[in-house]
Chains A and B, each alone.
Chain A
Amino acid sequence: MTQPPNAPKAVYRPLSPHLQVWRFHITMLTSILHRATGLALVVGAVLVAAWLVAIGLTASGCFPQAYTVFLSFAASPFGLFIWFGLSLAGFIHLTGGIRHLIWDMGLGFELKSANALSWWGLILGIALTVGFWAVLLATGKVVL
């Protein structure tokens, strides 16, 4: 068949599921969080790129104060708050990504195991963040 019998004139593209029409469930929350943390991590990529640019500009002598300027943000209380948020987003995106890789292998699709994977990913993501910052504070890497 070369021509469909009744070719659609306007293409109907459904939008992503709207947040308002679903009853809350954990796989929905972790799905939203996976997208939200992924978007938040774009800020992290920008900041790490800024760190590289700051070192490059300082080393090349183009703008010798660049690294000091970067640190005045990165080591400030507001900067630490941002780093904390980024680490939380990073660890939740990490466990969320691993959950998706498990699902991609065709495993864990039962309602019960899908819910369990979502909960454990969320809990592990938060635990890794808390652990990471506990180590940073305990070793004096970060002083509040």
Chain B
Amino acid sequence: MVDSYLRERSSKDWKKSEKHGAAEWLAERWTSIALIVLTGWSLWSAYGLMGQGYDAALAFLRVPLNAGLMALTFVITVWHTYMGLNANVLDYFPNSRLIKLVSFIFCLLLLIAALGGLFLAFKV
């Protein structure tokens, strides 16, 4: 009974992750593991820059390795954030496309702002 129930329901009615198979579940895991390393590096860098003023912060971001790691940190953070926000949207507002869209636009703007600021600091 359970098997036929699952087969009848899963193809069209279930939450999105059920249709995507394991991809989203795996992405949640590997972004988590990457963020343990990247936010650790960010926190260590922030500790070094604290109280050192604007020039030290700018010099830090103009090192290509630092700028690259910062950009990578933000790309993965925003991806992880997007999946996390979506899990909340699916739980509390399962039928709202609007809230899903708002969370997507928010994540996109966050990424553009961070990478834009980083680009200005690095290039200009």
Contacts and interface: CB of A to CB of B under 8 A. Distances in A.
Interface of A: 1, 4, 7-8, 11, 13, 15-16, 35, 38-39, 41-42, 45-46, 48-62, 67, 90, 94, 97-98, 100-101, 104, 136, 140-142
Nearest to A3: B8
Given A16-B92, A59-B121, 6 more contacts: A8-B9, A39-B88, A45-B114, A55-B54, A136-B47, A142-B50
Contact of B36 (A7, A13, A48, A98): A98
B116 A58 contact: no
Nearest to A4: B8
A44 to B, nearest CB: 9
Interface string B74-115: 100110010011001001101000000000000000100110
A132 B8 CA distance: 52
Contacts of B47: 136, 141
A38 B82 CA distance: 11
16 contacts: A4-B4, A45-B74, A45-B81, A48-B74, A48-B114, A49-B117, A50-B113, A53-B113, A53-B114, A53-B117, A55-B57, A56-B116, A59-B58, A67-B57, A90-B43, A97-B35
